[in-house]
Amino acid sequence: MEKLKVLYEDNHIIVVEKPVNIPSQGDKTGDEDMLTIIKRYIKEKYNKPGDVYLGLVHRLDRPTGGVMVFAKTSKSASRLSEQVREKKIHKKYLCIVDGKLEKEKDTWKDYLLKNQKNNISKVVKKETKNAKEAILDYEVLKYNKEIDLSVVKVNLQTGRHHQIRVQFASRNHSLYGDQKYGTRGRGKNLALWAYYLSFLHPTKKEIMEFEDYPEKIGSWKILEEN
């Protein structure tokens, strides 16, 4: 496991960069996950005996990298979880998508239905049973005509299952490297990165903002180009 990249840490919270293809928490694969990695880091750094408390308050999908906050106390976990429920934790994403979008910026509203069996969501009609409203705003940062790919900044108004991936794919602009919904970049890492996170500090009551960008390697080399 590569060295943990810590963006901020105090007695109450720890903000880190989640690498791609690491689960946020343990799953059936048994692969090492962020909770385990950070607990080990805290245990070693502070020489803590016994179990280390660490609260998971939000998740990023396994193939998605970027900024995450974890709670180091149960009080912080409770207060941050409340912010998640009240939509006071804000996340913004960068993604690389197929083709050129019609509009430079727009707001999309759809209704998504998750299939529990195959862990895939799809756009459905509003009246479909169990459908959930999904809203996002996007802005195109750049378009590369030679490779027909766009770099897009996305602000999620709702946090639905695979929301960004499904909403873009449904409009024939699937994310590059998306093995479930995509057409291009098979075998590559998913080009989706949570670059911005803001929330109210659980004890200091200050707004905390973090930005963290992917390394300009692989698909993200496109960020270097003019």
Percent of the chain whose predicted confidence (pLDDT) is above 90: 86
**Hey, what's the torsion of the CAs at 147, 153, 159, 165, to 10 degrees?**
0
What is the reported pLDDT for 58? 94
Q: Say which amino acid occupies 184.
A: R
Out of 31, 33, 61, 98, the active site residue is: 61
pLDDT tens per residue across span 34-93: 999 999 999 999 998 888 999 999 999 999 999 999 999 999 999 999 999 998 999 999
Average pLDDT, the chain: 94
What is the reported pLDDT for 26? 82
61 catalytic per annotation: yes
Fold annotation for 6-224 = Pseudouridine synthase (3.30.2350)
pLDDT tens per residue across span 80-126: 999 999 989 999 999 999 999 999 999 999 999 999 999 999 999 99
Q: Are 139 and 153 in contact (CB under 8 A)?
A: yes
pLDDT at residue 187 is higher than 80? yes
Report the pLDDT averaged over residues 173-197: 93
pLDDT tens per residue across span 210-225: 999 999 988 999 888 7
**Hey, what's the torsion of the CAs at 135, 140, 144, 148, to 10 degrees?**
30
Asked whether the whole model's pTM tops 0.85, one would answer yes
pLDDT at residue 11 is higher than 60? yes
Residue 7 is encoded by which pair of tokens? Answer: 């963006």
What is the reported pLDDT for 163? 97
Phi, psi of 44 (to 5 degrees): -75, -45
* Nearest-angstrom CA–CA distance, 164 and 141: 16
pLDDT at residue 1 is higher than 60? no
Burial class (CB in 10 A: 0-12, 13-18, 19+), 132: middle
Cα-based angle 123, 129, 134 (whole degrees, multiple of 5) = 40
What is the reported pLDDT for 2? 58
Q: Are 209 and 197 in contact (CB under 8 A)?
A: yes
